Amino acid sequence: MAYIKSVRGFTPQIGENTFLADNATVVGDVIIGRDCSIWFGAVVRGDVNSIRIGNRSNIQDGAVLHTLYQKSTIEIGDNVSIAHNAVIHGAKIGDGVLVGMNAVVLDNVVVGEGAIIAAGAVVLSNTQVEAGSIYAGTPAKFVKKVDPEQAKEMNQKIANNYLMYASWYTDEEK
């Protein structure tokens, strides 16, 4: 069973039909939308500031979400995929974004709708990532624009796949 803990008077709110892996951790001022999934070893730590996750978003294995005390919050839109071992620290992630494996997105970054943060990228604090663009590298830089329909289709497919994967676990519990 996932570790869910109240901190400083804040109790996580978990949306309908949201899958929490057995060793996922969700703490404090966290609101997770419906049809989401928080996977094995993921940590969503809203102890020092708020974390908001939209609908149909997935936080994959080993990902860490955290903020700065009184200085940054996390807002994650709908249909967002935060891949394995990614770190989101006090950033705003727009709808339909893909954050690749082992990517790091630092405080006060704003990632526009449909953008892709490549695997291993490090997006430095205060960066504005254009909607529909790919950022890669260390530090992350603009690579190119992506076709908005193609990006939306890919991110919807990932979101749908993660709903399906989550159903494999919840079906077995019934």
Q: What is the CATH number of the domain that holds 67?
A: 2.160.10.10
Q: pTM of the full predicted structure?
A: 0.95
d(CA 73, CA 151): 26
Q: What is the CA radius of gyration of the chain?
A: 15
Question: Which amino acid is it at 163?
Answer: L
SS3 of residue 141 by DSSP: strand
- Note the pLDDT tens digit of each residue in 44-78: 999 999 999 999 999 999 999 999 999 999 999 99
Q: Which range marks the domain in which residue 155 is found?
A: 3-173
CB 60 within 8 A of CB 82: yes
Phi, psi (rounded to 5 degrees) for 149:
-70, -40
Total tally of structural domains belonging to the chain: 1
- Say if residue 174's pLDDT is above 60: no
User: Minimal CA–CA distance to 76: which of 159, 146, 3?
Assistant: 159
SS3 of residue 150 by DSSP: helix
Structure confidence at residue 172 (pLDDT): 60
SS3 of residue 9 by DSSP: coil
How many H helices and E strands in the chain?
1, 20
Span 109-121, mean pLDDT? 97
Question: Which amino acid is it at 29?
Answer: D
- Say if residue 31's pLDDT is above 90: yes
